């Protein structure tokens, strides 16, 4: 049975367990299962000693984290799932790591991911794919598949990932855990390797909505090292929540079992402090192509730093006769197919003659999608949708079909385009595989989002 942070804290503070027992149980699970699941790229055996040093009254005391391996922990390897950074050692802590340490949390390992967070299945890692612990023939989702699988498989009781177009929420749905993407700018990205800077946001994986809320409150806040961070969180909770159901999210292409589970959930919560209203988000059909163009454009810029001079496959330098050859060797051998694909697409979109036709047009669509949400939130408090159009797919099924793979994010990219907070939580299962429900709120209205999702969770689980 999965244990929440809250339950672990109560047992530790009452003396029913000890830091040694808590961490040992997770380390034993990792040793037993990680060879098969491949959720962790690094394991920290000193987690027990670290927990013993923590004050029992700190809010994250008892929280044992797996951190996505694109987030820096000083003195530890940080690969971003790429050969080009296979031997890179982080020189400092990311802000989110500093905050977790200060609030009492400890780290047990670094989680596997799609290379530089580019993917929806964690099959694009240079260090092998992660498997879904609920069915090892299936993917765990991505790009934060490692932390999601680790939480689901009881290797830890909390995780931290990054979400650019659904990379926390989609693997959370595939692995049957809670995954939360905060409002853009509420959590610092200092010390987090950039993929697409106007979308990237850091957030938690957890075994309950309450745990996700505890982690978010510990890591959020303004940071002078990240200029987009702010302290604009609202404090306004209603007793009666009006939920919007967008008709555009229940269209042809969504698997019938997912649709049925979401409809069952809507029927179950209707009337219990929830009011249901159908809404329209008319520009939804343009969200994925707009996201792909903007994301790839930002990827092409962010990946330029990995040139083999400052970062990269250093052993290739002596073999290269010119600086151009060094770049080509390092980037050619250091990057995988998906990273190269996105760099090429982004460079093309930003090039002369195509910038206006693609990039500028995509930014205009982004504005229209944000306006759709603004109009919707004048009528409703939160919006409920599926997280993914399909159940977890088989390993290898979509890896050679990038378009089909990218469609996995069709319901999640809108939150990133508009900078909204969104949470994925378990909503039943089909054929032994989990189904996720996504709930979104207005920017900086995490209070209403958590209030609504905690109510949803209690009703769904009959607590």
Phi, psi of 154 (to 5 degrees): 60, 35
Q: Which of 162, 167, 190, 424 is catalytic?
A: 167
Residues pairing with 163 in the sheet: 201
Among 202, 200, 194, smallest CA distance to 221 is for: 202
Is residue 10 within a helix (H) or strand (E), and if so which, with residue range?
Answer: helix 5-14
Residue 143 falls in the annotated catalytic set: yes
Terminal-residue alpha carbon distance, the chain? 16
DSSP string, 215-235: HHHHHBS-BTTBTT-------
User: Does residue 50 sit in helix, strand or coil?
Assistant: helix
DSSP string, 359-370: IIHHHHHHHHHH
CB atoms under 10 Å from CB of 318, counted, come to 8
Among 182, 84, 185, 69, smallest CA distance to 117 is for: 69
8 A C-beta contact, residue 103 and residue 59: yes
Q: Which of 68, 131, 181, 442 is catalytic?
A: 68
Residue 335 to residue 247: CA distance in whole angstroms: 40
Residue 197 falls in the annotated catalytic set: no
8 A C-beta contact, residue 234 and residue 228: no
Residue 68 falls in the annotated catalytic set: yes
Residues pairing with 382 in the sheet: 243, 441
Q: Which of 143, 190, 349, 408 is catalytic?
A: 143
CB atoms under 10 Å from CB of 293, counted, come to 24
For the chain, what is the largest distance between any 2 Cα atoms, rounded to a whole number of angstroms? 72
Q: Which residues are catalytic?
A: 68, 143, 167
């Amino acid at each position: 049975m999965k244990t929440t942070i809250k339950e672990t804290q109560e047992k530790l503070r009452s003396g029913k367990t000890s830091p040694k027992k808590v961490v040992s149980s997770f380390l034993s699970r990792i040793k037993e299962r990680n060879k098969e699941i491949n959720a962790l790229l690094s394991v920290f055996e000193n987690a027990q000693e670290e927990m013993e040093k923590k004050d029992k009254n700190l809010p994250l005391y008892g929280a044992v984290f797996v951190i996505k391996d694109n987030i820096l922990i000083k003195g530890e390897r940080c690969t971003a799932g790429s050969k080009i950074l296979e031997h890179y050692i982080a020189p400092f802590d990311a802000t989110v790591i500093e905050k977790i340490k200060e609030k009492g949390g400890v780290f047990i390992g670094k989680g596997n991911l799609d290379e530089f967070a580019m993917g929806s299945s964690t099959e694009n890692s240079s260090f092998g794919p992660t498997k879904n612990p609920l069915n090892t023939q299936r993917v765990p989702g991505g790009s934060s598949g490692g932390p999601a699988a680790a939480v689901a498989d009881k290797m830890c009781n909390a995780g931290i990932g990054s979400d650019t177009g659904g990379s926390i929420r989609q693997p959370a749905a595939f692995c049957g855990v809670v995954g939360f993407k905060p409002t853009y700018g509420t959590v610092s990205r200092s010390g987090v390797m950039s993929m697409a800077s106007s979308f990237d946001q850091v957030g938690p994986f957890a075994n309950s909505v309450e745990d996700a809320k505890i982690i978010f409150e510990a890591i959020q806040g303004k940071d002078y090292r990240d200029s987009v961070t702010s302290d604009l969180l609202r404090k306004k909770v209603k007793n009666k929540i009006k939920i919007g159901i967008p008709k555009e999210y229940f269209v042809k292409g969504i698997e019938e079992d997912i649709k049925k589970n979401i409809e069952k959930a809507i029927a179950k919560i209707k009337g219990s402090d929830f009011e249901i209203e159908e809404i329209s988000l008319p520009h939804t059909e343009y969200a994925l192509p707009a996201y792909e163009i903007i994301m790839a454009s930002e990827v092409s810029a962010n990946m330029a730093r990995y040139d083999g001079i400052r970062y990269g496959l250093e052993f290739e330098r002596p073999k290269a006769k010119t600086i151009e050859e060094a770049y080509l060797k390092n980037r050619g051998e250091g990057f995988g197919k998906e990273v190269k694909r996105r760099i090429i697409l982004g460079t093309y979109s930003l090039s002369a003659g195509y910038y206006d036709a693609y990039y500028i047009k995509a930014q205009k669509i982004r504005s229209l999608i944000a306006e759709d949400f603004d109009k919707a939130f004048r009528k409703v408090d939160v919006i409920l949708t599926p997280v993914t159009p399909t159940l977890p797919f088989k390993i290898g099924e979509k890896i050679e079909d990038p378009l089909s793979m990218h469609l996995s994010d069709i319901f999640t990219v809108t939150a990133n385009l508009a900078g909204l907070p969104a949470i994925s939580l378990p909503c039943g299962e089909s054929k032994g595989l989990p189904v996720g429900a996504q709930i979104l709120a207005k920017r900086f209205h995490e209070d209403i989002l958590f209030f609504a999702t905690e109510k949803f969770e209690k009703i769904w689980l009959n607590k």
